[in-house]
Amino acid sequence: MVDPHPVGFRFRPTDEEIFNPYLKSKNMDGNTSHVDEVISTVDIYSFDPSELASQSSWTRKETDNVLYFFCPKENRYNRGERQSRKTKSGSWKKTGVTTNIMRKRGDCEKIGEKRVFVFQYSKIFGGTKLKSDWVMHEYVATFVSPTQVTFGCS
């Protein structure tokens, strides 16, 4: 069996590279087979964090501590855009502020947002939920149409 990950190769895209070519291609292109080879599409809320490594298409499971997934956006409630981020044994809770991701070259427009989540187990110990070491960085594309205002880089 041939190792699909050549020796010395490491997949670590920057925040900007997550959006273009990967997330932009996934949202706008018809043929995404080139993207699907690198990043799996998985409903991550159907799995606990410890089960996600087996769902990844691009990790050396014995060495990588970073996994990449596309997750279809589903509004889990009947009204509004709010999502439920619950799994079988806990939930993902947002921590910190949402960070704008700006294009570094050219027009420096806003291309997306990054949110950070921490996994908390449902069981309550001493009146508080038990936090885990699992952290998720969620990237949301905000592709700007030509008629909208763009933001400058600082």
Question: How big is the chain, counted in residues?
Answer: 154
130, part of any domain: yes
Into how many domains does the chain fold?
Answer: 1
74: tokens are 């589903």
Q: In terms of pLDDT, which residue wins out, 55 or 149?
A: 55
pLDDT in tens, 21-80: 777 777 776 667 777 777 888 888 888 888 888 888 765 555 567 888 888 776 666 666
Confidence (pTM): 0.74
Query: How large a percentage of the chain has pLDDT more than 90?
Result: 9
For the domain that residue 41 is a member of, what is the CATH number?
Answer: 2.170.150.80
Range of the domain at 67: 15-72+88-141
Rg (CA), the chain: 17
